[in-house]
Amino acid sequence: MTAAVAAAKTLLRAEARLRLARAGAADREAKSRAIVERLDALPGVRGAERLLLHRSLPSEVATEALLATALARGQRVFAPRVAGRRLRFVEIDYDTRWRRSTLGVFEPESGSEIDFAEASLLVVVPGLAFDERGHRLGRGGGHYDRFLAEARAANDVEAIAVAFELQIVPEVPAEAHDQRVDRVVTEKRTIAP
C-alpha cells in the first residue's frame, strides 16, 4: 500500500468513527431497522441458499433481526470467525455459542466451515465508509478483502454492504487489492455501483 493511500484511509477511518459516535443509539437503532427491512426485501437475500452474516458492533448497522429472520426461514446462515489473518465463516443455528473476539466482535465458538465451491454466496459486509462506486473502508485488518478475493476466485459471490447514509462519502481511497461491494444498502436507498 502506498503511503498516501494509507494516510488517506487512516484519516477517513477517524472521520467515520467520529460520525458514527455522534449518531445517537436510538437514531442508529431506528435506521438499522429500516436498513434491515430494505435488505431483507431484496430477492437475492430472501432466496440465498447460504447467507453470510456478521453480528454487528454497537456503532454498526444492527444485523440481529436479519440473522433471526434468516434462521426462521430455514436458510443456511454462516458467521465470521477471525483465525489469524483469515476470516472463516462457519455455519450457525439457534444453539450456537458465541464468544467476543479480541477485536470486540461476537463470533461463533464452533461450526462447520463454509465450502466456497458448494454454491454461490451472498455475504453481508460491514465497514466504516463506502462510496457510490462500491469501494469499502473496513477497520484496517484486511479480513473482508482477503475473504472476498478468495471466495470470488472459487465461486459466484454477491457482497452487499449495510451502512448508515452518514457513512457514504464521495470517495474511499482504494488500491487494486481492495475488494468492492456489489451493493450498499442504507436507510434511504440501495446503491448499485
pLDDT of residue 96: 94
Range from 51-65, 66-80, 104-118, 124-138 carrying the lowest mean pLDDT: 104-118
Reported as a pLDDT band with limits 50, 70 and 90, residue 1 is low
Domain boundaries, the chain: 3-191
Looking at domain 3-191, its CATH architecture is 3-Layer(aba) Sandwich (3.40)
pLDDT in tens, 98-130: 999 887 889 999 999 998 777 789 999 999 999
**Main-chain phi, psi angles of 42, to 5 degrees:** -70, 130
Helix, strand, coil percentages for the chain (3-state, nearest 5):
35, 25, 40
